[in-house]
Amino acid sequence: MLLTPGPTPVPEFVRKAMADITIHHRTPEFEKIFKETRELLLEIFDMPEAVMLASSGTGAMEACVTNLTCKKALTINSGKFGERFGKICKSFDIDFVEIKSEWNTPVCVDTVIDTIKNDSDIDAIFIQLCESAGGLRHPVEQIAAEVKKINPNIMIVADGITAIGVEKVDTSNLDAVITGSQKAFMLPPGLAMIGLSNAAVAKIETNAKGYYFNLSTEIKKQKENTTAWTAATTLIIGLKEILSHIKNNGGFEALYENTALRASATREALKAITCEIYPQTPANAMTTIYTEHAPAIRKILKTKYNVNIAGGQDHIKNLIFRINHMGLVEDFEASWVVNAVELAMDELGLREFDGTANKVFAQNMFKGK
């Protein structure tokens, strides 16, 4: 059972759709598939423009930094992925300031506002909706609304790789929203997507940079249902399959509701067996537990109960474990995981097993439905 917060398992119907012969990307057949996929993407982003890039999510992060910053970037670093925006700026010699916090701490809205008020060079803000390093939800929509009141020309770029497809994100004040194939969309890695506002498209037209990740070239081509370079045809076919499946089986809203309920039932179940939730503001993409026994618990889960969950990185590598909620996860899978954690804690002598986790999970999951 693969329950890591990316990569997530690829459903059988998607694997089957991607197993067909590879079609040429410059054909009416593929253009039709591209157009349908693009329309589904525009719907899920709820934004006027979107592009698909053949790269992992980091490629889209890089494209947004280079194409949407003219003078100076503000990057929000509460974890590995926020830190990455700063590293990208550095590698391109783009001037940037960073607001750094511990990995369990969301950025403070007032700190962001003070920073942009005191530095008029800042013309783009880069932040994660969910910072996957600790499973943390940043107050992105609030920041975006406040910043736009002060200066509507500042671009708000949100990395939504573990948020789009997990929850309904209010994109009305966001200029670019990034996502990738291997998390909530349950595809193999290799496809990145960016939703764009009209203001972002306008800025890109005058500021486009780079060659492969030149977003102006991509927007021009993708409006015509083709791509600048060879499209990741197989992954785009997979994306169309998963998005239309979700749309035709209850819709995106039902998926968001189910994910939120499963995430809160998991948190309640683990809290009931004395687990400590790591982030101050947990996102629904994953549940992150803080414990020095994380490596031992993960090992027992993998070897005895056939569940693969993730650990941490860097300074909290051995201090957290993360359980995925993204994608089409069955209720019984989540229920099995909390049960397995309780059994592992019993084996480690931390707490005697009495079935509390599973009971609390079921009460929250099914009474809530």
Ligand X SMILES: *Cc1c(COP(=O)(O)O)cnc(C)c1O
Q: Is 106 in the site for ligand X (CB under 6 A)?
A: no
- Give the interface segment with ligand X, choosing from 56-64, 67-75, 194-202, 232-240 (CB under 6 A): 56-64
Binds ligand X by CB under 6 A, chosen from 161, 236, 242, 289: 161
Q: Go through the chain and tell me how many residues it has.
A: 369
Distance CA 216, CA 315 (A): 39
Question: Exactly one of 10, 37, 41, 57 binds ligand X (CB under 6 A); which one?
Answer: 57
Binders of ligand X among residues 314 to 353 (CB under 6 A) are none
The angle at the Cα of 8, spanning 248 to 268, to the nearest 5 degrees, equals 90
With respect to ligand X, which residue has the nearer C-beta, 62 or 175? 62
Give the Cα-Cα-Cα angle 245, 248, 250 (nearest 5 degrees).
105
- Closest residue to ligand X in the complex (CB): 57
CB nearer to ligand X: pick between 183 and 240: 183
**Is 96 a binder of ligand X (CB under 6 A)?**
no
Question: Among 158-166, 214-222, 265-273, 335-343, which window interacts with ligand X (CB under 6 A)?
Answer: 158-166
Our finding on whether 159 is near ligand X (CB under 6 A) is yes
Q: Which of residues 3, 6, 86, 171 is near ligand X by CB under 6 A?
A: 6
Helix extents (H) in the chain: 12-18, 28-45, 57-68, 80-91, 109-117, 140-150, 198-207, 215-223, 233-248, 251-272, 294-305, 331-347, 356-367
Is there binding between residue 101 and ligand X (CB under 6 A)?
no
Single residue of 162, 227, 284, 364 touching ligand X by CB under 6 A: 162
Q: Binding residues for ligand X, how many (CB under 6 A)?
A: 12
Contact present, 78 and 107 (Cβ < 8 Å) = yes
Non-local (6+) Cβ contacts of 243 within 8 A are: 37, 40, 41, 44, 185
Half-sphere exposure of 286 (CA within 13 A, CB side): 31
Residues that bind ligand X (CB under 6 A): 6, 56-58, 81, 128, 132, 159, 161-162, 180, 183
